[in-house]
Structure formats: structure tokens, C-alpha cells
Amino acid sequence: MTSKDNYSRPMTRQEIEALRAIKATKENQHLRPKFVSESRYIYVPAGIELAPKVKVERIDDRPDGQILWKIGIEIGAGVTPGFPMGNTVQRHERTNTFGKISHLPSYRPEWMNVNFVPRTGAPPAEPKIRDKKGRKVKPLTVFPGDSRHILFDTSWPWVLSGKIINSDGKSGSGVLIGDRLVLTARHVMPWTSVASGNWWMKFTPHYFDGTEPFGSSFVSDARHYDLDDTDFNLAHDYAVLRLFEPLGHRLGFLGTTSFDDNWRGLNVWSNIGYPFDAGGGERPAVQNYQPMEDDYEDDDGQTLETEASLNHGNSGGPFFAWFENGTQVRACGVVSSEVSFNGDADNSVSGGDNLVNLVDWARANWPL
């Protein structure tokens, strides 16, 4: 992508901090009710009518004045509990998109507030810096001067990133980029389970200490680039996931952009993820005003070099910036791995025109 003027480039810190927060203009009809709720998933054979019955039983009156109740649900015969399983995992064919796609828009619902500077908590304790142990690629490196903070802000766009767990018992990060769409790293997918034909993934926006304040959704389908060679993989380590639930319709979503060479060294990028060493993977950590030091092309994919502090659990989390006087927020890539650039250990972010093309395909073919 070629930037033409200041309007199309990422906004600087000074420009962002000069903007005033924006208040919602409509009431949010999608907020979860302020009471305890739990969801259970079941499979019902075709032809069987589902007619659950709720049974409430008072169990005990406690000395502290609280009353213990038991709530049971009778579902019926022939019903099997389980997770919503994923359907298709498809390879996205390589396409030459040079000069055809440069960016896609973000979306903010009128019922979402906007904070240009997020509300954060105290930074995590200073972690130990891990060495590479002679290996070329492994996630990920925490650099001195760690700028990560725990993210408490639930306004737009900070609420759009979330935690991903999967059927391989692993976790990572992702971000809403469409009504039912999440962008993450390809290696966050449960490849062992996919190979067995029985897999699931779950995305929770602003997951926080085990809570789901804005709901969650399992993944119905996934699409990614092929897995044939190492260099191509590094520049294409991203996947788009289709959700069963339209979380992006309720909360909004980020846009996407290719990285421009003119943006090298600009301290404009934010990252959100769930690193294990900052909040134990249970709280979102944010770092703002980070630079991309360099970029390397592979076909229409990009490997972006950064010294932002990242760790296990950050994989798949977005790097995004503000554009167009604060009206657009676009991701340039997702966290991939630690990598050696000319002998220098840095962290890598995967992006490029092919990322924008993949999201463009998903928005057109996996509509609400």
C-alpha cells in the first residue's frame, strides 16, 4: 500500500491524545443482563422435539442468611451434551492482489463509546527475558522497558480483542474483524484436532479472569493460507474464523490494512493479547505506540519486525492503529512468533495484502 497524505497514514500519539472521547448516541440493546447466566450446548437427533423442563429446589438455609438452591434442567432422552464443533477448515488460494486492495473499513455501532486512550491498570511485574537457545523461531520475546499494562477499558475498539481456547488445550488471542469474523494466527488453530476431524475453538471478547462480560462464541468455520514452506508460512501466519454468534454486529469490529514502507519506525501501533507472563493469560494486556522496525515481503504476505514485548498467549493478537482523524481503526497484522532478522532476535507480526484479501473474502462469503 502507498500512503498518499496524512489522512491515509496512521495517526501519531499527539494527534490521538488531542481527540476527545465519543459518547454513544443509542442505547445498547445487546448488553448482557445484570444477572448470573450459564449456557450449555447439546446435540439433539433429527426428529426429536426439544422440551426442557426446569426444576428448582431449596436445599439449605445458611447461618449467614444466604439460601442454597439447586436448579436442574430435564432435557429428554437421546440428547448428547457437548461443545459446538467446527465444520470446515479450508485453504485460501494464493492470489496476486498487489495494488488492488489496500485496506478495509472498521465498524463502530452507535451504542458503543469510544476512548482514544484506553483505561489501564498497573503494569505487570517485570518478567525475565528469555533467550533463544539457538532456535530460529519460537514465540515470543519480552524486551527491556516492557510497556504492557492490564486493559480494563471496555469501550470501542479496546473491547474487540479477546481470548481464544481450542480443542487441543491451547490458547491464544484474536480480534473481531466482521459481524461473525475473528482474525487470529494460523498456528492458534487446533491442528491435532483438525486432523482427527473433531475440533472446536471458542472466542471471548474482553475475557477477564474467567468472565465473559460480552458473551462468547464457538467457531463454525476457518480459512487460512497453505502450509508448504517456512518463509511463506511466517508471512501468512493468519486465519479468519467464522463464529456461530454475531459478536461483531453487537460490538463492532476492526478494519485491516497492508503495511506501508513509509510507516517504518512510527510509534503508532497498539497490541492487545493474553500473555501468560502478564495476568497469567487471564487478563488482556495492552501496549500502545509501538513501532514496526522493518517489513519483509513473501508473495503478497508480509513479515513485520517489532520489539514490542510479547509472550506465549499473545499469538494471534492484533497490531492496529488509528486512521482518518480517529474514525477508522485498522489492523496491519497479527502476532506470529519470535524470529531472527539478520541475527537480531525480534518478534514478528504477519500481515500484508494477502491478509486484507482473506478478510475481504470472508466478509463477502461469510455474511451475517
pLDDT tens string 234-275: 899 999 999 999 999 999 999 999 999 999 999 999 999 999
Domains of the chain as residue ranges with CATH: 13-29+85-365 (2.40.10.120), 42-81 (no CATH)
Mean pLDDT across 294-309: 88
- Which helix or strand (DSSP H or E) is residue 233 part of? helix 230-235
Cis omega (within 30 of 0) for bond into 140: yes
How confident is the model at residue 187, as a pLDDT?
A: 94
pLDDT tens per residue, range 110-153: 999 999 999 998 755 544 434 334 434 444 555 555 678 999 99
pLDDT tens per residue, range 50-93: 888 999 999 999 999 999 999 988 887 788 888 899 999 999 98
CB environment 89-115: b (16+ within 10 A), e (fewer): beebeebebeeebbbbebbbbebbbbe
Q: Note the pTM of the prediction, 2 decimals.
A: 0.87
Decide: helix, strand or coil at residue 68. strand
- What number of CA atoms fall less than 13 Å from residue 137's CA on the CB side? 13
